[in-house]
Structure 1
Amino acid sequence: MIHGVWRELIADLYPGADLAPGADVAMLDEAEKALGLPLPFELVALLSEVDGVFNTYGDAVVWPLARIIDDNLAIRAEPDYVELYAPFDDLVFFGDSDMGPQFAYVYTDYGPGIVVWDHDTDRRRLVVVSLQDYLVRCFTQGTAWHG
């Protein structure tokens, strides 16, 4: 039986989803300390129910918590990126699309929003304002919805 709002939403959008157990609460707290930013409430709620969300191709629509930590710390520490890209300190990357654009929370005056980042151009464009909308688009509109 599926328990939790996020697990139900994912199961409705992708009935064949294999949903992993949620992330450890202590690890969620450690993630915020490691990243130096609070994790958005909705991302914490989702990760508490299921640690990572994958599409039919096995792509991580929402990365497991360990990858969120590792990838964010790595991208911030990469010396070449300091010269190539604007700073990443105000972003929390959490998912990608077919090894292409990556998605991150960015904090605005109105709260967190989700941007798509194009590594070729360093373009960061707000695409949705909620994790629910992000998941709905990922599972119902395919990979090109963020165009």
Structure 2
Amino acid sequence: MWREITRRTFSGVGFGEPADAAEVAAAERRLGRPLPSELVSLLGEADGLVGHDGVDTVWPLRQIVEQNLLFWTDHSFADLYMPFDALLFFGDNGGGDQFAFVRTPARPDIFVWEHEDDSRRWVARDLRDYLVRSLTDGGDDWYR
């Protein structure tokens, strides 16, 4: 399903090898929380998606875990940004802004965190909408 959706939107999309259930379970244990079901489904088809200009539209599972643990635990971020605990980052625009699910309260919407001003705002109603929007335009600022 996810490969079809993304290929129809952008024929040049790149796919990582699928993540298996054991890898997802290990990632969820490390994160201490479940991943959104849509994201798990996508990772089961492709462990990461590369869009226009080599942008990591969806990070590989390993990077999802590493980036979120960093943002949730790095004390230096507390002096610079609002807390990230409610967000689960999964991709970026190639220029520093990152995309996330809101985990508290859990919802399917996708938000962008803009690193220049620490703003967080809605950009897509769910993962499918995010993929179509980001892969259709292809610019690193498609969400503005």
Q: TM-score, normalised by structure 2?
A: 0.91
| 1:104 correspondence with 2:103 | no
Structure 1 residue 54 corresponds to structure 2 residue 50: yes
Contact 1:107 1:113 in 2 (8 A): no
Letter paired with 1:132: R
2:52 is paired with a residue whose SS is coil
**1:36-79 Cα shifts (integer Å, max 9, x gaps):** 22211110000010000001311100000000001111122222
Q: Does the aligned pair in 1 maintain the 2:87–2:104 contact within 8 Å?
A: no
2:30 aligned with 1:34: yes
For normalisation by structure 1, the TM-score amounts to 0.89
Residue identity in the other structure for 1:145: W
Equivalent residue for 2:143, pick from 134, 143, 146: 146
Q: Does 1:88 align with 2:76?
A: no
* CA RMSD, Structure 1 to Structure 2 (Å): 1.6
1:109 positional shift: 4.7
Is 1:74 aligned to 2:70, yes or no?
yes
- Quote the sequence identity (%): 45
Larger RCO, structures 1/2 (Cα 8 Å, 6+ apart)? 2
Unaligned 5+ runs, structure 1: none
SS of equivalent residue, structure 1 residue 57? helix
CA distance in 2, matches of 1:94, 1:53: 10
Moved more, 33-42 or 15-24: 15-24
State which drifts further: 64-73 or 85-94: 85-94
Q: Name the structure 2 match of 1:63.
A: 59
Where in structure 2 are there 5+ consecutive unaligned residues?
A: none
Correspondence for 1:16: 12
In the alignment, is the contact (CA less than 8 A) between 1:114 and 1:126 conserved in 2? yes
Partner amino acid, structure 2, of 1:13 = T
- Equivalent residue of 1:125, what SS? strand
Q: Size of the alignment, in residue pairs?
A: 143
